[in-house]
Structure 1
Amino acid sequence: MTSEERLYADLAALGIEYAAHEHIAVFTVEESRQVDAEIPGAHTKNLFLKDAGGVFWLVTVPAEARVDLKALPKVIGCKRVSFGKADDMERLIGISPGSVTPLAMINAAPGSVTVVIDAGLAAAERVNVHPLRNTGTFGLAGADILRALEHWGHEPVIAAVPHQDGS
């Protein structure tokens, strides 16, 4: 069974409803804007980070957010962060850049990557994320993303992720 097949099976087993959309491959938030215009709900971007202590983080924020990477460590409880490498991403969460999604945590060993979900997204009625590939979008409730993460053995951190504009 592929990771995507396991994802569909787990969402069904958990009774998680989602709206699936197929579209052209998008690799950046900028490229996804045209696709996003057709899909209702909160759109996301994901940052795969590594802190100075060697801990990996997957941070999911609203697509338009400009995360303040200097202020983020204090909020989530870690040391200075930088972007993680593609080979670490593929090794730990089983996907490549451009397809990053909190749903990729289905592939991650518990404790290998800490997931941070922006508080606004966690409470949102509909959050749009990739289904392990960048040619599709799933729209599901923020609470259901949290349930799936917990089902896979991850304890997501819900945080008011700091933005560069000070919000």
Structure 2
Amino acid sequence: MDVQTLTADERRQRVFDFLDARGIRYEWYEHPEAPTIEIARQWWRDDGSKHCKNLFFRNHKGNRHYLVCFDSEQSMAIHDLEHRLRQGKLSFASEQRMERWLGLRPGSVSPFGLINDPANHVHLFLDTNLRQWPSYSFHPNDNRATVVISREEFLRYLAAAGNSYEFIELY
């Protein structure tokens, strides 16, 4: 099935199926639609996990795409990201590019979108400060739920997804 035609429930289930098939442990909970950090914050549980902000960019030529993941309490200007990532001029990727490379729609961007990138085209940048947290929270490609996953299990997920990634100091 074409990933662009999947319903939100189907996109979520693909994440769970991917994790379950690889024995990757996680917890999850449902909540009302939360397309922004500001909205999502009211539904977050006090579970010790770090909620992450995820931004999807393209380079100036449009031939490289980057997912940037960092602490949701921080903010980043594109100019600062360009300087830190050293990938040249960046801009937010279009909704069409997001659907093509991550199988996602705006408001549900997460590293779990990498399961929809079999060519491993998208490079993931993770803020190095995330290493200090024991677990992370992300949407499971559906902004009506949150997955809580330990740092160790998340790194197992990244290895299984196969995309390149690196921890980098973003602020």
RMSD: 1.9
Change (3 A) 1:65 1:106: same
Q: Which has the higher helix share?
A: 2
Distance across 1 between alignment mates of 2:14 and 2:51: 24
Distance across 2 between alignment mates of 1:37 and 1:140: 13
1:36-56 alpha-carbon deviations (Å, 9 max, x no partner) = 255541111111111223211
Alignment partner, residue 38 of structure 2? 30
Q: Is the 8 A contact 1:117 1:158 kept in 2?
A: yes
2:46 maps to 1:50: no
Instruction: Decide which moves more: 138-147 or 15-24.
Output: 138-147
Distance across 1 between alignment mates of 2:156 and 2:61: 28
Distance across 2 between alignment mates of 1:122 and 1:112: 24
Distance across 1 between alignment mates of 2:153 and 2:130: 11
Alignment partner, residue 133 of structure 1? 142
Instruction: Decide which moves more: 72-81 or 53-62.
Output: 72-81
Question: Which of 122, 126, 130 is the matching residue for 1:121?
Answer: 130
Alignment partner, residue 71 of structure 2? 62
1:3-30 alpha-carbon deviations (Å, 9 max, x no partner) = 4334223322333221211000001111
Structure 2 SS opposite 1:75: helix
Distance across 1 between alignment mates of 2:11 and 2:75: 30
Structure 1 letter corresponding to 2:88:
K
Change (3 A) 1:77 1:93: same
Change (3 A) 1:97 1:110: same
Deviation of the 1:123 alpha carbon = 4.4
Q: Which consecutive residues of structure 2, in runs of 5 or more, have no partner in the other structure?
A: 2-9
Alignment partner, residue 80 of structure 2? 71
1:86-105 alpha-carbon deviations (Å, 9 max, x no partner) = 11101111010011100110
Distance across 2 between alignment mates of 1:97 and 1:46: 10
The count of corresponding residues between Structure 1 and Structure 2 is 162
Deviation of the 1:122 alpha carbon = 4.0
Change (3 A) 1:152 1:158: same
Deviation of the 1:153 alpha carbon = 1.6
Q: In the TM superposition, what are the counterparts of 1:81-120 in structure 2 within 5 Å?
A: 81-120=90-129
Alignment partner, residue 165 of structure 1? none
Structure 2 letter corresponding to 1:156:
Y
Change (3 A) 1:74 1:146: farther
Q: Is the 8 A contact 1:60 1:118 kept in 2?
A: yes
Q: Is the 8 A contact 2:122 2:164 kept in 1?
A: no
